[in-house]
Structure 1
Amino acid sequence: MHINFPKLSQDTPTIGKGSQIKDTKFGKWIELGESNMIDNCTFGDYDYTGQYCFMQNTDLQKFDSIAAMVRIGPTNHPYDRAAQHIFAYNGAAYGFGPKDEEYLKHRKQIRTKIGNDVWIGHGVLILTGLTVGDGAVIGAGAVVTHDVEPYTIIGGVPGKKIKDRFPDEVKTDLTKIAWWDWSREKLEKYYLDFRLPIDEFIQKHIHD
């Protein structure tokens, strides 16, 4: 939630107070809310998050809108071993031996992927290793346990499809237009077109 929108920077991400960032790459026009914890992630251009978001091993495309208290890509514990507690594979804080580097490397390679123009509501949990397609909507409080198809609306625990945002032909046209890949100049030129009814937007840009 914004009380006042901050002035964002094209090249330097705007990072909220108390956020912790590790091994993460940012695109342009990025904003993170307060008290985010972001580990081993990539952000595309124009992504933003609300407050208290936790993300690990996640790749986000462009123009993603992420509300407060969202958790994406929580790492798993080795529940097939004698001990699943962190001391058994990363126990330096407890005074134990070296890390299990092989296990930790494998865990980082299990990526969660968020498409372009995805809206993720307040308090959503998206489990590790899943893919959320372009234009999807994840309703507040949902727990996403399976991949999400493009332009679908998901809600509930566990998350289930509620409906499609658009008919299939509109989904196909929007995917073809791929406005999220437009240059900054083209976005500025056609900025007001994003307020048009969807059929008018597609008619105008399907043959660009």
Structure 2
Amino acid sequence: MHIDFPKLSADKPVVGQGTQLKRTTLGQWVELGASNLIDNCTIGDYDYTGQYCFMQNSDLKKFISIAAQVRIGPTNHPYDRVSQHIFAYNGSAYGFDQTDVDFLEKRKAIRTTIGNDVWIGHGAIIQAGLTIGNGAVIGSGAVVTHDVAPYTIVGGVPAKPIKDRFSDEVKTDLEKIAWWDWSRAKLAKFYLDFRLPVNEFIQKHLTD
């Protein structure tokens, strides 16, 4: 949620008060809301988050819109062991020094990928290791437990497809155009085209 939109820049991301970043890289024109916790992630150009978003071990592509209180890539506990509590595998806070490095590294390697131009609604949870396709919409409060196809709207618990945003032909054409990879100069040149009906946009840019 924005009350006032901040002035963004290519060189310096806007990071909200109380947000913590660890082992994370940020692209250009990025805005992170207040009180985010982001660990071992890549955040692409033009991505923004709302408040209280938590992400781990995830790769976010470009132009992603994330509402408040979203959880991406939550890590699992070893529920097949005698104890699933953190003390048993990463117990330094409890005075146990034999960290289970192998388990932690395997957990970090389970990456969640969010495609270009994805919109993630308030309070959604996207489980670890999934791929959300370009242009998808994740409904508010959804719990996503399977991959989501490009340009598909999903919602519910567990999340299920609601409808496609576009026809298969339009989806294919948008993937060919891949406007999210345009240079800043090209985005500026054709900025108003993003308000055109999708078929007019495709007709104009498919052969660029």
TM-score range normalised by the length of the shorter chain? over 0.9
**Which residue identity is paired with 2:143?**
V
2:167 corresponds to: 167
Unpaired segments ≥5 residues, structure 1: none
Unpaired segments ≥5 residues, structure 2: none
Tell me, in whole angstroms, the C-alpha distance in 1 between the residues paired with 2:113 and 2:11.
23
Percent identical pairs in the alignment equals: 75
Shift of residue 98, structure 1, vs aligned partner: 2.0
**Which residue identity is paired with 2:136?**
A
**Which residue identity is paired with 2:33?**
G
Number of residue equivalences: 208
Tell me, in whole angstroms, the C-alpha distance in 2 between the residues paired with 1:11 and 1:43.
14
Tell me, in whole angstroms, the C-alpha distance in 2 between the residues paired with 1:105 and 1:197.
46
Give per-residue Cα distances to partners, 1:40-86, cap 9 Å, x unaligned: 00011000000000000000000000000000000000111111100
Q: Which structure 2 residues correspond to residues 1-208 of structure 1 after superposition, within 5 A? A: 1-208=1-208
Shift of residue 187, structure 1, vs aligned partner: 0.2
Runs of 4 or more consecutive aligned structure 1 residues displaced over 6 Å after TM superposition: none
Tell me, in whole angstroms, the C-alpha distance in 2 between the residues paired with 1:111 and 1:4.
33
Shift of residue 97, structure 1, vs aligned partner: 2.4
Tell me, in whole angstroms, the C-alpha distance in 1 between the residues paired with 2:54 and 2:44.
17
- Could you tell me the TM-score, scaled by structure 2's length? 0.99
- Could you tell me the TM-score, scaled by structure 1's length? 0.99
Tell me, in whole angstroms, the C-alpha distance in 1 between the residues paired with 2:6 and 2:152.
30
Q: Partner of 1:162: helix, strand, or coil?
A: strand
**Which residue identity is paired with 1:116?**
N
Tell me, in whole angstroms, the C-alpha distance in 2 between the residues paired with 1:99 and 1:77.
14
Give per-residue Cα distances to partners, 1:127-171, cap 9 Å, x unaligned: 000000000000100000000000000000000000000000000
Shift of residue 88, structure 1, vs aligned partner: 0.3
